[in-house]
Structure 1
């Protein structure tokens, strides 16, 4: 397994440009090509879901074994969601540390050690505030995945918490039997942390079922 720190996040370089979903998708494609990966299964969480759909829109899926989308807003645009995200972007610029603390704690439904939470908060704070606001804006701005859906022919897995049932319904309506839906009841946005055993089993079974 290869874990990727996207541009301006984690230990990757912090840049002042290239934070559009299509730009970050090109970063992933460059990594796949540079490492010579053959039919990799790409897994995206949260805003990474839209970035992987942009990957397929730009490059197709001939070189991809499958896609796993984890708890992403697809699409992000609805009046209620836009209002929440716009308000959050403003709050981030007013008190980044406070909002990072609130957001990280909200990602989990099961208790986590305080040391662990503080480590995640510190990692979140590594992303420059202006970049964080830009990423939220760019994620929210994408509302049309028609071109990406048209290029999807291989199976896709979408795992999600109950709050994202509208996204699951939307994807099912657009992709039909091409997408497999697995709902995690009782888990939060970081559902792979809340229930790692179930998450790993679901992903493993999906990967094993892919056409060889």
Structure 2
């Protein structure tokens, strides 16, 4: 989907973006762009005003998957959702599908948000991208960290993982991605919604999507980066990551866990009302904006 717009006083291309969820009054977010230092044009959504929370989506997912958060949280806060390179409406870059560049993209977004601390929330692969940003940039801009349903390198390593999935991606990408998208939800989703997600998840080149599943960092890197910050942390997980979340809550002085027993991997969609309420509490009572 293309957008016509104008250059704003902040030097960003802006256009209205109407979020599409049926049968509800929709708030209007703004679609903005900035150019990263490697000349990749990156897109983000922005809505609301007040203390800022930045969401970073997971593997191949578009920013609009956080529509439930924009709808509710933007009534009290400024909500920003990044389309990482190759995803959503961002450029399909020739390179940069690795943690250092993806973390730098988040760092280069920050000046376009103005001064002050922000809460940063990563989901799935976005957890690793956010931790890569934190490793490179430090926590001077960080008011609080929200990590959504991915490993952070704590506890015992998980069982070996991606081999069969990668084989299936190469053999039949469309069917594999559609199966993955459907598996993210515990509650029923409209076929048109799942179809749109699956199509968006196949924008980038196949081999680049595979590179994103093979970050060349030891798992201890993510753990050590997390523990290096003393900012508040909220670790929201499904039962698969219960053990890691419990350890983080025990070892990090300002961390808490939030377990979603009856939600799928996209828990912020399946349990949107509960998740949003918890984020509101985190923003109001725990995040260190000053």
TM-score (norm 1): 0.91
**Corresponding position of 1:185:** 261
Q: Distance in 2 between matches of 1:49 and 1:143?
A: 12
C-alpha displacement at 1:150, in angstroms? Answer: 4.3
Q: Distance in 2 between matches of 1:146 and 1:70?
A: 15
Select 1:116's aligned residue among 193, 199, 204: 193
Q: Distance in 2 between matches of 1:38 and 1:189?
A: 31
Q: Distance in 2 between matches of 1:135 and 1:9?
A: 12
Look up the SS of the partner of 1:49 in the other structure: helix
Runs of 4+ in 1 over 4 A off after TM superposition: none
Gapped regions of structure 1 (runs ≥ 5) = none
Higher strand share: 2
Q: Distance in 2 between matches of 1:2 and 1:158?
A: 19
Q: Distance in 1 between matches of 2:206 and 2:81?
A: 23
Relative to structure 1, the CA distance from residue 37 to residue 128 in structure 2 (aligned partners, 3 Å threshold; closer, same or farther) is farther
**Corresponding position of 2:119:** 41
C-alpha displacement at 1:37, in angstroms? Answer: 4.1
Look up the SS of the partner of 1:115 in the other structure: helix
Select 1:107's aligned residue among 169, 173, 184: 184
Tell me, yes or no, if structure 1 residue 73 matches structure 2 residue 156: no
Q: Is the 8 A contact 1:57 1:147 kept in 2?
A: no
Alignment of 1:1-212 (within 5 A): 1-75=79-153, 78=157, 80=159, 83-138=160-215, 141-144=217-220, 145-175=222-252, 177-209=253-285, 210-211=287-288, 212=290
Q: Distance in 2 between matches of 1:3 and 1:106?
A: 23
Look up the SS of the partner of 1:199 in the other structure: helix
Relative to structure 1, the CA distance from residue 75 to residue 150 in structure 2 (aligned partners, 3 Å threshold; closer, same or farther) is closer
Q: What CA deviation, in whole Å up to 9, does each residue of 1:130-169 have, x standing for no partner?
A: 111000011x744123541343111111101112213313
C-alpha displacement at 1:174, in angstroms? Answer: 4.2
C-alpha displacement at 1:172, in angstroms? Answer: 3.2
What RMSD over aligned residues (CA atoms) do the two structures have, in Å? 1.9
Q: Distance in 2 between matches of 1:199 and 1:23?
A: 29
C-alpha displacement at 1:79, in angstroms? Answer: 5.7
Q: How many residues align?
A: 208
Higher helix share: 1
C-alpha displacement at 1:62, in angstroms? Answer: 1.4
Q: Distance in 1 between matches of 2:115 and 2:235?
A: 22
Q: Distance in 2 between matches of 1:170 and 1:16?
A: 38
TM-score (norm 2): 0.67
Look up the SS of the partner of 1:10 in the other structure: coil
* Higher-Rg member (1/2): 2
Relative to structure 1, the CA distance from residue 208 to residue 13 in structure 2 (aligned partners, 3 Å threshold; closer, same or farther) is same
Gapped regions of structure 2 (runs ≥ 5) = 1-78
